[in-house]
Amino acid sequence: MRFSEPLNIVIHLDRRAATPLHAQISRQLRAAIRDGVLAHGDRIPSTRTLAAELGVSRSVALHVYHELYAEGLVEARSGSGNFVHCPQRQPRRSESPGVRPSATPIDLRPLGAGGHGFPAAVWRSAWRRAVHRVPGPASRSPQGDPELRAALAAHLRKQHGLKCGADQIVVTSGRVAALDALCQIGAGPGESVAFQQPGPGDLRRLLAARAVDVMPLPVDAEGVLVPRMCPRVRMAVVRPVQAHPQARLSARRRETLLDWAATEGLTLVELERDPFMASSSPSLPLAASAEHRPTVFLGSFTDILAPALDLGYVVAPPELVPAITRAVCGGRLDPSPVVQRVAATLLGEDHLARYLRRMTTLGQARRRIVRRALATLPPDQLAETGFGGLEATLRLGHLPAREVADRLRAQGVLVETGDAPGPARRPDRIVIGYGHLDEVTLKRGLHQIVRTLTQMGREPSRAPDTGRRRGSA
């Protein structure tokens, strides 16, 4: 028997009214389509089902559909049934009445690679192998899947020059969960966390949600600036190689940072460098040279693959591993065993390493597109551009970053804002990502950014007042 869609909306019939039944039904169906209760592409009942559910003859139902066909509100598809046809308006049922949906925006927010370009056959094969065995209680190791931890240790040695054992790695459900576990053991009540600015937004939001007092760590040309006095700081989160601004930790500043962590007795949390950022002079992670200093390395698969594969990890000194493991298990911050098996397969067979090399090359090509598109902007509109592997940070001149982002959103382009270093934390930059977009979409988004910045820069009220800005700094 062929399946027929049931009637999912209420139709009121007044059999004593002078208005014919077919006119009452068609009027209510027409209103449901135009109000968005029935959306474009929704399947509707057959004439036989409609007649049976409303208790009318099939000729009445045929009359209704003939009217809607003639008005172009319903279409019949051979062998499939009847469907709503209203392409000029396609609201979902969750929309507020009378609100028209905007066109699909160009999402230029930094989303990493998002799995873009990853071989689909490899991806499907890894999942098939991961679900081949039904995971039992013994498959959930407190520190994480042993095969994954061994593959991670090999990956970190080849990609970052970090030598560690699998017993030093604790697997978590993302880097936010990893930092959450570290906060539980390293930042007690009344204590602070030093955080390199601007830093990843998801980690900033976690610290805010935990009501942790954050001490900003600004950067200069040599990297992160080490504070002189910080009596309540018990943990510092840094990224020695980052793109906003382009600051690489110098050898002198590196030693100063490690000595500061050892002297103050705080845990130094090093965020993994951008995995898609090619470097002519790569530097070792801090954890590689911190022999007797409490240094933790924090990494994630979120930016490399799909964000849905929420998988992170912590590489810690042996004395910290038990406490981190307890925090992860106690807070249910450990990922699914199946997801861990997938990651172990992708790492162990070098699929991920090959993907990183391809995306690094793609990132270089995308950066050239971004540079060419932004080259025409004057310094008062765009003061500086810093590049990561698959994202760029645009430090604006005198234009307010939040207002620029709002104007772009209204025009169908989504970007993130970033705070300036220092206590004022005034948003003065926008951050865009380009690893998850095709070239045509990226160029369209960049064209809109250039156009918006140019228009805002020409507005009389936007004229930069250098003297006033200096006086208020």
Beta bridge partners of 81: 77
* Range 337-355 burial, b when 16+ CB lie within 10 A, else e: bbbbbbbbbbbbeebbeeb
Domain with residue 45: its CATH number is: 1.10.10.10
Domain with residue 267: its CATH number is: 3.40.640.10
Residue 154 inside a domain? The answer is yes
Among 305, 322, 349, identify where a domain stops.
Answer: 349
Asked if residues 253 and 218 have their Cβ atoms less than 8 Å apart, the reply is no
Q: Does residue 452 sit in the same domain as residue 376?
A: yes
In eight-state DSSP terms, residue 462 is G
Closest-CA residue to 370 (of 417, 429, 431): 431
Q: Does residue 428 sit in the same domain as residue 455?
A: yes
Question: What's the full length of the chain, in residues?
Answer: 473
Among 101, 122, 152, identify where a domain stops.
Answer: 101
Residue 112 inside a domain? The answer is no
Q: Does residue 62 sit in the same domain as residue 202?
A: no
Residue 116 inside a domain? The answer is no
> What is the per-residue pLDDT for 244?
47
> What is the per-residue pLDDT for 308?
65
> What is the per-residue pLDDT for 166?
93
Kindly state the helix (H) or strand (E) to which residue 428 belongs, with its residue range.
strand 427-433
Among 300, 316, 349, identify where a domain stops.
Answer: 349
Q: Does residue 193 sit in the same domain as residue 67?
A: no
Residue 64 inside a domain? The answer is yes
Is 384 exposed, middle or buried (CB count within 10 Å of its CB: 0-12, 13-18, 19+)? middle
Name the residue range of residue 53's domain: 1-101
Domain with residue 451: its CATH number is: 3.90.1150.10
Q: Does residue 336 sit in the same domain as residue 370?
A: no
SS3 of 75-117: the string is EEECCCEEEECCCCCCCCCCCCCCCCCCCCCEECCCCCCCCCC
Q: Does residue 145 sit in the same domain as residue 216?
A: yes
Q: Does residue 304 sit in the same domain as residue 365?
A: no
Residue 126 inside a domain? The answer is no
- Domain count for the chain, please give it: 3
* Range 127-146 burial, b when 16+ CB lie within 10 A, else e: eeebeeeeeeeeeebebbbe
Q: Does residue 160 sit in the same domain as residue 64?
A: no
Q: Does residue 379 sit in the same domain as residue 338?
A: no
Beta bridge partners of 299: 313
Q: Does residue 47 sit in the same domain as residue 190?
A: no
> What is the per-residue pLDDT for 42?
85
Residue 71 inside a domain? The answer is yes
Kindly state the helix (H) or strand (E) to which residue 28 belongs, with its residue range.
helix 21-34
Residue 293 inside a domain? The answer is yes
Q: Does residue 239 sit in the same domain as residue 158?
A: yes
Give the pLDDT of the chain (473 residues) as one tens digit per residue. Answer: 344 567 777 788 888 888 889 899 999 998 888 877 888 888 888 888 888 888 899 889 888 988 888 788 888 877 678 888 876 554 444 444 444 444 578 999 887 776 666 777 888 888 888 887 766 665 678 899 999 999 999 988 888 888 889 999 999 988 889 999 998 887 766 778 888 877 777 788 888 888 788 888 888 777 888 887 777 788 889 887 654 444 567 788 888 888 888 888 888 898 887 777 665 455 677 877 655 567 899 988 876 776 667 789 999 999 999 999 999 888 778 888 888 888 888 888 888 888 888 888 888 888 899 999 998 888 878 888 878 778 888 888 888 888 999 999 999 999 988 765 544 455 678 889 888 888 888 999 999 999 999 988 888 766 555 444 433 33
Residue 73 inside a domain? The answer is yes
Q: Does residue 157 sit in the same domain as residue 286?
A: yes
pTM passes above 0.75: no
